[in-house]
Amino acid sequence: MRQGVLSRYKQFLDITSNTPMIDMGEGSTPLVRSKFIERQLGCGELYFKLEGCNPTGSFKDRGMVMAVAKAIEGGSRAIICASTGNTSASAAAYGAYCGIKTIVLVPSGNVAKGKMAQALAYGAEVVVVEGTFDQSLEMVRNFSERNSIALVNSVNPHRLEGQKSAAFEIVDDLGDAPEYLFIPVGNAGNITAYWNGFVQYHEVEKSTIKPRMMGFQAEGAAPIVIGEPVLEPKTIASAIRIGNPASWQHAIKARDESGGSIGSVSDKEILEAYKMLSRREGVFGEPASAASVAGLIKMHSNGIDFSDSRIVCVITGSGLKDPDLASEQNDMPLHQLPLDMDAMNRALGSILE
Ligand code: AN7
């Protein structure tokens, strides 16, 4: 049986004899070699870390399993979060698995359909707030302090603890750290967690190098790039529509200590990468996830030479999360046919020539 994050990386996590070893099979996600973009850009080696293969379809499960275990260890009987969608789906799943009450706040109109469906399916209390993600996070921080209910957003340090396991897996799979890690940045928890993981593994000599951390925000939601909060963040990549990241300073530290950078990519660049990933690589990530690949393509066109480098792009969530956008962006023809072999031959015979 596949070991979940808590048992696989027990020795590197803050696990005590009282920590419940919750396990929904999270982590141990595939690291897949690129078939197309690697050659196209002339990268040494390019890999995709497929975090959409986690139980709820995003990387959030790695942190959620740890945060919920710690919440239960500390006596909490309820958890709460604000979310652009994936955190709420994950919290709702682990809440259901552990039999604890789960409350999720999501900004109105801005959450992808698949994620809302998950929160509802797992039976969470779903609160739609007329405001942004940043404002919803402010509200749950306040509410959780007053009501001794565990806050499971990435401001909870246990979330980042769990999420660093993805960095461990990359090193375990490659035998060393890559030269570059490309990753989308929203609330900036994940880039922080990865950096913590790479540093920790380097300290215990599991790797000889540490990667440059290359974070990418969406252009209309790029507070770290412009150096000030964005009050009304806008991007098609709803997961990273965040204007005032909670882990802002940690992300800057990760960037600077690693010799990396945090930049932005336009929605157009995100969508191009999104389609290239699914059509040329067979990797269906969500739009926010494609920001990592869009960032790589942008750095390459800015003249950075990756020919001697090993690169990992983190594909943070599954493309199935946002079915509306997938259909909208799909410009392949749909063939409508009667139940008739001749019609089928006429319609499809020519595409095989
Ligand atoms: C697919 O679910 O913030 O920089 O509330 O869902 O650690 O925030 C999601 C973020 C990247 C950004 N890719 O990670 C939420 C939420 C996907 C995401 C990010 C998110 P962070």
DSSP string, 229-294: --SS---S-GGG--SS-TTHHHHHHHHHHHT-EEEEE-HHHHHHHHHHHHHHH---B-HHHHHHHH
Give me the chain's average pLDDT, please: 96
Separation of 95 CA from ligand 1 center, angstroms?
19
Secondary structure (3-state) at 14 = coil
Q: For 174-194, how does the pLDDT look when each residue is reduced to its tens digit (9 = 90+)?
A: 999 999 999 999 999 999 999
Shortest-distance atom of ligand 1 to CA 189: 7
* pLDDT band for position 110 (cuts 50, 70, 90): confident
Cβ(61) – ligand 1 distance below 6 Å: no
Q: Give me the pLDDT at residue 349, please.
A: 85
Q: Does the CB atom of residue 184 touch ligand 1 within 6 A?
A: yes
By most ligand atoms within 8 Å of CB, the mutation choice from 191, 240, 247 for ligand 1 is 240
- Pocket lining: 187 vs ligand 1, CB cutoff 6 Å: yes
Closest atom of ligand 1 relative to the 285 alpha carbon: 1
> Cα(187) to centroid of ligand 1, in Å?
6
Res. 353: pLDDT tops 80: no
Query: Is 52 near ligand 1, meaning CB less than 6 Å away?
Result: no
d(C-alpha 35, C-alpha 332), whole Å: 22
Cβ–ligand 1 distance for 239 under 6 Å, the answer: yes
The alpha carbon of 297 is separated from its chain's Cα centroid by a whole number of angstroms, namely 19
The pTM is what? 0.97
pLDDT of residue 16: 97
Give the whole-angstrom CA distance, residue 134 versus residue 154: 13
Model pLDDT, residue 49: 98
Confidence label for 259 from pLDDT (cuts 50, 70 and 90): very high
Locate tokens 């749909």: which residue?
334
315 burial (CB, 10 Å; 0-12 / 13-18 / 19+) is: buried
Q: Give the Cα separation of 179 and 203 in Å (integer).
A: 17
Residue 115 predicted with pLDDT over 80: yes
How far is 347 from 345, CA to CA, in rounded Å?
6
Is the pLDDT at 48 greater than 90, yes or no?
yes
The confidence score (pLDDT) of residue 335 equals 84
Predicted local confidence at residue 252, as pLDDT: 98
Q: What is the mean pLDDT of residues 102-118?
A: 95
**Which residues contact residue 207 at a Cβ distance below 8 angstroms, ignoring those fewer than 6 apart?**
171, 176, 177, 198, 201
pLDDT for 332 beyond 80: no
User: Is residue 265 exposed (0-12), middle (13-18) or buried (19+ Cβ within 10 Å)?
Assistant: buried
100 pLDDT more than 90: yes
Residue 84 beta carbon below 6 angstroms from any ligand 1 atom:
yes
**Ligand 1 site, residue 136, Cβ cutoff 6 A:** no
192 lines ligand 1 (CB under 6 A): no
Take residue 260 and report the two structure tokens written for it.
């990396």
- Return the pLDDT at 45: 98
* Pocket mutation for ligand 1, best pick of 48, 58, 127 (most atoms within 8 Å of C-beta): 58
Distance 86 CA to ligand 1 centre (A): 7
User: Using an 8 Å Cβ cutoff, are 144 and 150 in contact?
Assistant: yes
